[in-house]
Structure 1
Amino acid sequence: MTSVVILYYSRNGATQRLADAIAEGVTSAGGEAVLRSTGHGSNAVSDRDLEVENSDIENCDALILGSPTRFGHMASSLQKFWEGTSREWLQGALTDKPGAVFTSSSSLHGGQESTLLTLALPLIHHGMMLVGIPYSEPALHQTQSGGSPYGASHHEHSNKLTEHERQCAIALGKRVTNFASKLSS
């Protein structure tokens, strides 16, 4: 079974809700969604999400990385995790594996796309192949709040994801899983 690590930080639960929708896409494509988080000081982290360990990324077939927007950047706990992955980088542990990104923000123009791009940087440095959401995904054309070709996103104007945001997140999970499955066969 294709193992897809969904690594995220969530402070108020919005990014976690996106992670859950992405996990739904992973499992619907026949993969195993492995939810991992950083920053256990968060009140949104549930018992089902373990703190990430470097071995999680070594053993995955794909990685999907998510963070709330922090002035156009990823949360510091995710940055700290990546700064501790030199050994995996030197070994090429993530080379040629599919990767994707997702984010949430409390304001509509709060830096979602720049956050998605900064989340992609460590994946590129690790030699991963980026997977986005193509315009052939109907929800991407219909969304009024979150979702981008760069990755899934959520504008936290309400506590729950809009149906279009949810569909974009599910589609991203499916695409990454399908790519990883094809690469491993």
Structure 2
Amino acid sequence: MEILVVYYSMYGHTLQLAQAVAEGASKVSGVNAKLCRVQEFEVVDKVIDENEAARQVREQQKDIPVCTLDDLRSADGVIFGSPTRYGNMTAQMKQLIDSTASIWLKGEMEGKPAGVFTSTASTHGGQETTLLTMMVPLLHLGMLIVGTPYSIPGLNHTEARGGTPYGATTIAGGKGELSPAPEDLDIARALGQRVAEVATKVR
């Protein structure tokens, strides 16, 4: 059984969450977690060329394959991760989702469990709106949304860090200076494990 973790990351925070999600999914017996990135826009690649931090993150991801429609078709469950842009997913992630019309027409994603995760610069930077709006096209595809309930250790907190019942999150800082808190990564692992467990039961 395969769980696909597909993400977009420019500065590495969503990448770290994605790796934790994949780690959590891999804990479930018989599950292979596959990590794929979203195709970058050519115009953004030129911007990254001028940014040392972003160039380093791009280099870290060079061996991670770009997600294809066949990756989505073959997966038993999919977990999508995107940084927040004005309270919504990135255009890069939206482009991937918008390219799934042929899959939608055939109902090839129907009944597959799905989860979502994100990163924002600030505490109230749109984490929940991003996760909720990411779910909308997944429901159109017929996927089964899996969240992160409050029974997960570390979710019920009042600290300035990530963690929502809609999916795993983290705070990057205004200049990307923060790293995901250990608790944020634990919640990401729990999300991966939950989606994998639900996929196992559904299958």
The count of corresponding residues between Structure 1 and Structure 2 is: 183
Note the alpha carbon deviations across 1:31-67, whole angstroms, 9 max, x for none. Answer: 2111111134364341331111100000000000010
Match of 2:157 in 1: 142
Question: How far apart, in 2, do the equivalents of 1:143 and 1:178 lie?
Answer: 28
Please list every run of at least 4 consecutive aligned residues from structure 1 whose deviation after the TM superposition is greater than 6 angstroms: none
Match of 2:34 in 1: 34
How well do the aligned residues superpose, as a CA RMSD in angstroms? 1.3
SS in 2 for 1:22: helix
Q: Does 1:162 align with 2:170?
A: no
What amino acid does structure 2 have at the position aligned with 1:19? Answer: A
Q: Does 1:68 align with 2:87?
A: no
Match of 1:132 in 2: 147
Match of 1:47 in 2: 62
Match of 2:3 in 1: 4
SS in 2 for 1:139: coil
Name which of structure 1's ranges 13-22 and 37-46 shifts more when overlaid on structure 2: 37-46
Match of 1:22 in 2: 21
Of 91, 109, 124, the match for 1:109: 124
What amino acid does structure 2 have at the position aligned with 1:151? Answer: G
1:143 is displaced (CA, Å) by 6.3
What amino acid does structure 1 have at the position aligned with 2:62? Answer: D
1:4 is displaced (CA, Å) by 0.7
Aligned residues of 1:66 and 1:119 also touching (Cα < 8 A): no
User: If you compute each CA radius of gyration, which structure gives the higher value, 1 or 2?
Assistant: 2
Q: Does 1:123 align with 2:122?
A: no
Note the alpha carbon deviations across 1:74-101, whole angstroms, 9 max, x for none. Answer: 1001111111110000111110110000
Question: How far apart, in 2, do the equivalents of 1:110 and 1:180 lie?
Answer: 31
Aligned residues of 1:58 and 1:94 also touching (Cα < 8 A): yes
Gaps of at least 5 residues in structure 2 are 49-54
What amino acid does structure 2 have at the position aligned with 1:168? Answer: I
User: TM-score, length-normalised on structure 1?
Assistant: 0.94
1:10 is displaced (CA, Å) by 0.4
Q: Does 1:58 align with 2:73?
A: yes
What amino acid does structure 2 have at the position aligned with 1:89? Answer: W
SS in 2 for 1:137: coil
Match of 1:174 in 2: 193
Aligned residues of 2:82 and 2:119 also touching (Cα < 8 A): yes
Aligned residues of 1:143 and 1:165 also touching (Cα < 8 A): no
CA distance 1:12–1:131, shift in 2 (3 Å)? same
Gaps of at least 5 residues in structure 1 are none
